Structure 1
Amino acid sequence: MISARELTKRYGDRVAVDGIDFDIRPGKVTGFLGPNGAGKSTTMRMILGLDRASSGTVTVNGRPYSNARAPLREVGALLEAQAIHPGRSALDHLRWLAASNDISTARVRQILDQVGLEDVAGRRAGKFSLGMRQRLGIASALIGDPPVVILDEPVNGLDSEGIRWVRRLCRRLADEGRTVFVSSHLMAEMSLTADHLIVIGQGRILADASMTEFMTAHAPSFVRVRTPDRERAREAISRNGTRVDLVDDELRVDSLDVAGIGDTLYAAEVRVHELSGVQCSLEEAFMALTADTVEYQAGPEAAAPIAQGAL
């Protein structure tokens, strides 16, 4: 388990992480979300002892990670896939890590096969694609078979098969009872992977909840009704106290009982052009929650089409 209490990091007058508390528990995948500059990478670096906290504490399984005698056997981490000597082969890179933590050569071969790099084990890492370096970084994190795994943007550079592989890997590690802490900007992927979410903005915790609790609280669901008889439809649906809002040219009903609403409209002889249940996505919920904490935000002209001949 990873535990933080009043964890704070200052760089001069700037507060990067502002007194946060959390527990990342084993047996589940915990997703770590936040806009750029929110403090995610700084928090992960403090967990690993790469950055010293200005105040507060963070421990891994009850003690600071910097006190670990065989660090790779306790925590496996991927923070930067490029942090590999370009002239060293994948095999030699993992052999060097294994030797530093008294890990067998047999484990090196096993992990190369597990991440799909066995056939290129002798190739220099500098010749690897971004996706291959990402796989090697994940192999480095898993080399010690650690009970705690921390992955910062692990699917960067991976194709669809690789992204699905990382998703299954995280799920398997959690199912084995390990603590899995993953950051990502790919909300659709995180919604398929994480059991629990910690959302940070401007260095503060904005949400710490299970995926189900988070979606219930921040991703509203409703039934969309499109009809030429909007007033009659609204009157029929709202008779039992159900909230009905008019948004543009559609009614939004505070419910997901599509069948029940359909029966109500049929009984009221209301013509219906569309009747559908809508669940907001994790991305929409995240954007709404963090809207006031985005540090770098493009202006409206960024989304405007480029005029012909402007290039």
Structure 2
Amino acid sequence: MTIRAHALTKRFPGPRGSEGRTAVDGIDFTVLPGRVTGFLGPNGAGKSTTMRMVLGLDAPTSGTVSVNGHRYADSPAPLREIGALLEAGALHPGRSARDHLRWLAASNGIPHTRVGEVLELVGLDAVAGQRVGRFSLGMGQRLGIAAALLGDPPVVVLDEPVNGLDPEGIRWVRGLARRLADEGRTVFVSSHLMSEMALMADHLLVIGRGRILADCSVPAFMAEHAASYVRVKAPSLDDLGRLLQRQGADVVREGSGSAAELRVTGLSAPEVGEAAARDGRVLHELTLVSASLEDAFMTLTADAVEYHAQTELEGATR
């Protein structure tokens, strides 16, 4: 089972006389089975719109998107083909967790015994009879995941699945996604938590302003967009910096006083240490600092962010 998009485009009309907005702009991608594909992008990049088009909730303006060669809306039993979590809060507050899943199972010809299995899987079996209106955000999220897994689908689409979950729940979702992929399923996950995506995903799709910015494995993404450097602290930093520049390094001094350090690129940590030793210099710190997935993501999407917050308060008054 694969998800394929070709020239997928979605434009939303604007007020009368205006041009409107292009949320997704002619993108092509394939989500393959047997791996977790992470779907990343800044707010407003087009992630949710793309997922809604995969599930037939939004109609493309042009282009196509298919699940296993056909439109998801054409499936006779959708929950048996693709399970999805888009809006965890889309629940009837007066219905119990068990009854919510029972009517979903009945509508797709799924045996009622499966309801108990998924409730136990997500850890809600003890509260299955409670009304979901009393559920916390995390409990609602678990129920949404249970609904996505109800039909034992070969394709699973999860939009921000760890929202509202505690650390144990976040780790559980991570393990669940990995286990589903290891079973040969197609797993498509959107998240803003880069630290989790770094641990969960095998492959990344990065979107910005409606266009695909990257479509590659996590190691390839890091190799291209993550910059590592060597942090050096020592007496006489300026003299050391000039020494390292003569060795071909790019050197930037940051901080002041006891917090001053050099950020060195172009030389490895052993090469920096050896150059200092040959010149008889003492080092107080020599550390290779590897960039994170978050750093690489921010570097790639810097020009694709629509909503920039100020980093400092301006004009604050008492």
Q: TM-score, normalised by structure 1?
A: 0.93
Equivalent in 67, 81, 85 of residue 60 of structure 1: 67
* Change in CA separation of 1:118 and 1:36 when aligned onto 2, cut-off 3 Å: same
Any residues of structure 2 matched to 1:30-41 within 5 Å, and which?
A: 30-41=37-48
Aligned to 2:251: 245
Q: 1:6 Cα deviation (Å)?
A: 0.6
Pair 299,244 (structure 1): closer, same or farther in 2 beyond 3 Å: closer
Partner of 1:281: 292
In structure 2, how many angstroms separate the alpha carbons of the residues matched to 1:106 and 1:256? 61
Relative distance call for 1:59 and 1:117 in structure 2 (3 A) is same
Return the alpha-carbon distance in structure 1 between the equivalents of residues 247 and 86 of structure 2.
Answer: 53
Distance in 1, Cα, partners of 2:147 & 2:80: 11
What aligned pairs does 1:72-151 form with structure 2 within 5 A after superposition? 72-151=79-158
The match for 2:221 is 214
Matched, 1:153 2:160: yes
Superposition deviation, residue 267 in structure 1: 2.4
Alpha-carbon distance in structure 1 between the residues aligned to 2:200 and 2:315: 35
Hey, what's the Cα distance between the residues in 1 that align with 2:251 and 2:286? Answer: 15
Q: Cα deviation per residue 1:9-40 (whole Å; 9 max; x = unaligned)?
A: 00012100001111111111111111111111
The range that moved more, 88-97 or 249-258, is: 249-258
100-109 vs 222-231, which deviates more?
222-231
1:195 aligns with 2:196: no
Structure 2 portions without partners, runs of 5+: 14-19, 255-259
SS state of the match for residue 11, structure 2?
Answer: strand
Which position in structure 2 is the counterpart of 1:29?
A: 36
2:308 is aligned with what amino acid?
Q
Q: CA deviation at 1:288?
A: 2.1
Correspondence for 1:204 among 192, 211, 218: 211
What value does the CA root-mean-square deviation take over the aligned residues? 1.8
| Structure 1 position 247, deviation (Å) | 3.2
Q: Does 1:228 align with 2:235?
A: yes
**Shift, 1:253, TM fit:** 2.8
After TM superposition, the score normalised by the length of structure 2 is 0.91
Contact 1:244 1:251 (C-alpha < 8 Å) held by counterparts = no
1:254 maps onto 2:265 in alignment: yes
Q: How far is 1:228 from its partner?
A: 2.8
Shift of 1:306: 6.9
Aligned 8 A contact 1:237 1:261 in 2: yes
The amino acid across from 1:244 in the alignment is D
State the alpha-carbon separation in 1 of the partners of residues 120 and 235 from structure 2.
Answer: 61
Alpha-carbon shift at residue 246 of structure 1 (Å) = 2.0
Q: Which residue of 2 aligns with 1:5?
A: 6
Residues paired across the two proteins, number: 306
Moved more, 290-299 or 129-138: 290-299
Greater CA drift, 225-234 or 52-61: 225-234
% identical aligned pairs: 63
